[in-house]
Amino acid sequence: MTRARLMCLGRCPSLGARRGDSGLTLIEMLAVLALIGIMSGLALAVWRPDAPGRRLSAEAQGLAARLALAADEALVTGRPLALRWQSGGYDIVQWDPVTGWQAARLPGLATAHRLAAGIVIGQADGLLIVSPQGDGPPLDLALQAGSKRAVVRFDGLTARVAPAGEEQVGDAT
């Protein structure tokens, strides 16, 4: 053996020893695992077998919340509001003695809401007056997405999404 080989004792890269930068570090492994997790999450976000059901539920909850907010506002201000709906959306309107029903100029109620793609309101176009006394007619309003449906119930003061099994829809008046 030559003297150079004896001095290296297996640590010289030129003699076929293992280099310090071969293999993966813990940081590199964690970065790869994080990327795999992110990509998996994105794939699940795109492919959801029950996405229409979740969107339908979210739309129904949103309608119930806005209707409850309108009832609270009518009760506090003493002025009637109304829910006006058509197949693809709804808005909250307020009475103006000169011009009639106009878009509500109230925080959280000022803009018309368009339903998510594929979701429609099952009843014909309509208007429900939200009385300051809470004595308006009750309403069952059905939202539909294909064969799935959710019903928003309003009794004049409170609005809620009917639980499964309670989805019978009465007249929307």
Instruction: Answer yes or no: is 22 within a domain.
Output: no
Mean pLDDT of 97-108: 84
- List the domain range (segments joined by +) for residue 115: 51-161
Task: Report the C-alpha dihedral over residues 43, 46, 48, 53, rounded to 10 degrees.
Answer: 160
Q: How many domains does the chain have?
A: 1
Counted residue by residue, the chain has a size of: 173
Which of the given ranges, 87-91, 134-138, 169-173, has the highest pLDDT on average? Answer: 87-91
Tell me what pLDDT residue 172 has: 44
Burial of 86 (0-12, 13-18, 19+ CB in 10 A): middle
Mean pLDDT across 58-74? 90
C-alpha 105/C-alpha 130 separation (Å) is 16
Within-domain flag for 128: yes
Query: Is residue 7, in this structure, part of any structural domain at all?
Result: no
The mean pLDDT value for 19-32 works out to: 74
Q: What share of the chain is helix, strand, coil (3-state, %, to 5)?
A: 35, 25, 40
- Better-scored residue on pLDDT, 13 or 145: 145
Does residue 122 register a pLDDT over 90? no
DSSP 18: P
As a dihedral over the C-alpha atoms of residue 86, residue 90, residue 95, residue 96, rounded to 10 degrees, the angle is: -90
For residue 146, the domain's CATH number is: 3.55.40.10
Is 4 domain-assigned?
no
Q: Is 68 inside any structural domain?
A: yes
pLDDT, tens only, 141-170: 999 988 888 999 999 888 999 875 554 544
User: Cβ of 161: how many Cβ atoms within 10 Å?
Assistant: 21
Residue 46 pLDDT > 90:
no
